[in-house]
Structure 1
Amino acid sequence: MNDTAPADDAVAAAARAHRDEWARLVGALTRRFGDLDVAEEAAAEAFAAAVARWPGDGVPRNPAAWLTTTAQRKAVDRLRHESKRDARHREARILHDDAPPASPGVVDDDRLRLIFTCCHPALAMPSRVALTLRLVGGLTVPEIAHGFLAQEAAIGQRITRAKAKIRAARIPYRMPSADDLPTRVTGVLAVLYLVFNEGYLASGPGTDPVRQDLTAEAIRLARLLHALLPDDGEATGLLALMLLTEARHAARVDAARVLVTLDEQDRTAWDAGLISEGHRLVRERLVAAAAGTAPGRYQVLAAISAVHTSARDVRDTDWSQVVALYDQLTRLDPSPVVTLNRAIAVGELDGPEVALALVDPLADPLDDYHAFHATRADLLRRLGRDTEARAAYDRALGLTGNTAEAAALRRRRDALR
C-alpha cells in the first residue's frame, strides 16, 4: 500500500476505479462464476469495500487487482452461503477456476462479451438498455430510473427479468460467431444511440431539456466499443456522430432554456476538441470507404454532421454535399424520417416550396412525429403561409415532450403575423 491518502483523494480514486474498472470486473466475474447476479453483487460489494477502506488504509498500488481479489472473495463467500444451490456444484465452481491469467486482451474480451450478453436480441430493447447501463456502465438503478423518467421499482424489475431470461434461455456469455457479429454489433449500437438520443433531447415534463449525464455515458460506452472493435466502421461512425453532436452542447439551449436551432447557434461556443476528434474519425472511415468498404448508416450520419460542423457560418454549409449524403443514407435506410431530414436539406438548397412538396406526402406515416409538423411549420412560415404554419406549430407543440424544444416552437409560432 501507499502511505495513507487523504479521505477525499481516496474516495476520488475509488470513483475513478468504478468508472474505469466496473465493466472489466463484472465481465471477469461473470466468466469465472457464470452468474450475472453473483458478478454484479460481488463487484458492488468490492467497490463499497474500497470506499470504506481506502481512506484509512491508503489507495492500493494496483486498484484493479485489489478490486478483483476482493470481488472474487465476496463472490466465493456468497456462493458458500447460498443454501439453495447444490453443494457439489457450488464447490466445483468455487474451487475450479479455469480462467487464464488476466491480461489486457482477456479483460477486453470480458467486457465485449458482457456488452453482447446485455444487448442480446432475445431481450426487449428497454431491457437491453437498462441491463447495459447497469452491468456495463455501472449506473445505479436510481440513476437509470432518473435518466429515463421511470420508477426505480420498474427499472429494478426490468433488470431482474432480463437476467432471469438470460438464465432461462441459456444465453451464452461469449462473443457472437463471425457470421452473427455484424448483426449483433448493430443491436449494440442501437442501444447506445437510444441512450444518447434520450440525453440529447430529453423527454418528459419537469426534466432537464438536455441530459448530459446520459449523453456522456453513451459516449463513454461508445468509446469502449470502438476501442474493442477498432476496425468496425459502424462503431467508429457512431462514436464520431456522438462526438460531433455533443460538441454543440453549450450552444443548444439559451439562458431562457429555449432550444437554439443549428442555424442560429453561436459556433464559437462549440467544443473544438470534440469536433476535431469527430472529424478525424470520419476521415478514417472515408479512407476505408475509398479502399472499398461501403459506409453504413452511422458513418453516413457522422459524415453529414461533419459537413455541418466544418462550416464556420451557417451560410458556408455545403448543402449540396449534405443532400448527396442523404441520398446515400436513403439507399441504406429509406424510412420516412430519413426522407424528412433529406427534405430539410433540399429546402436549404432549392427553397421551401420544393421541400414542402417532399414533406407533405409524409403526413400519414409521420402524423404523430413532432419533428414532421415542426419542419412543415417552418417551411410554411418561410412561404408566408402563416395561418397554416400556426396550425402546424400547434400540432408540433402537442407532440413534443422536450421543454426547450417546446419553448422554441412557441417562440416561432408567436412571432407569426
Structure 2
Amino acid sequence: MATSASLTEPSVLAHTKRELFPGDDPDGYVVADTQFAQERWVDRRPIAEETKAALAPFNHVRVGTGYPDLVGVGPLDNDLLAVDRQGERPPLVVVEAKGYSGGTVDGERAVVQAHDRLDEANVAFVSAPLASIRDGERTLARELNVGVLGVTESGRVEVLERPRVVGNRTDGEAGAIRFQAGAQGVAEKSFGLNHPKNYLAYPLAVAHDGETERLVADHVVGAVDAARQGAAFLGLVDAQPRPTLTPLGREVVRFGLEEFGTLEAAVVDFESYRRSRKRFVDVAPRWGQVARRVVYAYPATTLLVEELQQMHDDGIDAPSLVELVEWLHAHHPTFTVELFFRGDENVRERVLNEGGELRDAPLSDGDSYHSPTVFQLKAMLYHAGLLTDRGAEPSKLDPERDTWALCHPV
C-alpha cells in the first residue's frame, strides 16, 4: 500500500521536525535519536539519505525514563499550542513518532511514552500518519496533555490535539540540548579564535567612547566579528541587537580601569600580545587570571575540570582525548556528544551506534571532532593555565596522543 511505502517512522519524524523546527531560529537546536542515523530501519527498509539529512544531527538523549525520537529547544508556533504564552525561555520539546512498518500503528503506546517525557520536558507530541490516528488515542492524549500531529502522504502536518506548556526544569541529560540551544552552545556559534586576549579586550572596546570595531582591529585582532562572537559566547557581552556589557563583562572593564587607569590604556596594552605564541598566563599573569575566571565561568569548563580531577584521583593523570571522551561519555553521554563531536550526519552515524554507544575506531580519527572544542576551547584553557597542552585543529589532531591534563590537580 502507498502509505506503508511513504510514511515510515523516519519519514513521519522528518516531516514533523520541519513543522516544529523550520530552522530559521538562531537560538533553536534539535536532535533526532541515533536509531534514525542507521542505514536501514527496523523493518530493514533503507532510510533515505534526504530523510537522514533532514533529521541530523543525532544523539541518544534520555528524557524521563526513555529516549524520545526527537528532542529540541526553540519557540513553537502558537497554532501548535493550547495557550499562546511559552515563558521567558523557549520550551524543551519531545516527539514520539510512529509510522507504517508492516503492521498497525500503536498510537496509544506513543501517547503513554510522550506523557512520561513530561517529567523533564515542557511540551510533548505524538506524530503519526494522519489516517492511522484513532479517536481513543486523541482522547487519551487530551487527558495526558500530549499534543497529536497527523502527517499526510504529501508531508503536510495537521495539528489534531494542542498541548499546554508545563514548567518542568531540564536538569538531566536533556539539559545538554538546552545548553546547545543557548548563547553558549557549541552547535553553530562559538569560538573562531584560540586566544583569550581577543575576547577579554572586546568588552573594553565596547565600554570605550570610541568605535568598538576600530579599536579591536587597531589594537587587538583583525577578525573583529570572531572577537565579538567569542565574547558573547563567553558571556562577556550580549551581542544583539548591538553589543552591551554583561555583569561579567563589566567586571573585566573594572579590572582594566584598576590596572591601567583608562580604557584607552587598557585596550592598547593588548597590542603587545599580538601573534604571541607564549602562554598568556605567563606573559600577562594578571590578565591571565582574569582569563581563567572568564573561561571557568563557561559551563563546559567546569565539567571538564571536575572530570579530569576525578580521572586524576583514579590514577589517570594525563588522559588522551580518546580516553577523556570515553570517560565523559560513560558519565555524561549527551553532553559529551554535543561538546566533542561534529553535528554532521555522517560523523554522528560513524561515531554512535543505534543505541547511542560509542564506536571505537572513529574516536581515533581527528575529523570526528568539533574544532571549537578540541582546538579553540582547549587552547583557551591552556592560555588560562588550566590545561598542560594547547589544542590542535582536527586535520592535525591525533586523538590517541592529544593530552588533556590539569596543570594543578588537587
- Per the TM superposition, whether the score is higher than 0.5 is no
**Length-normalised TM-score, structure 1:** 0.28
Which has the larger share of strand? 2
Which has the larger share of helix? 1
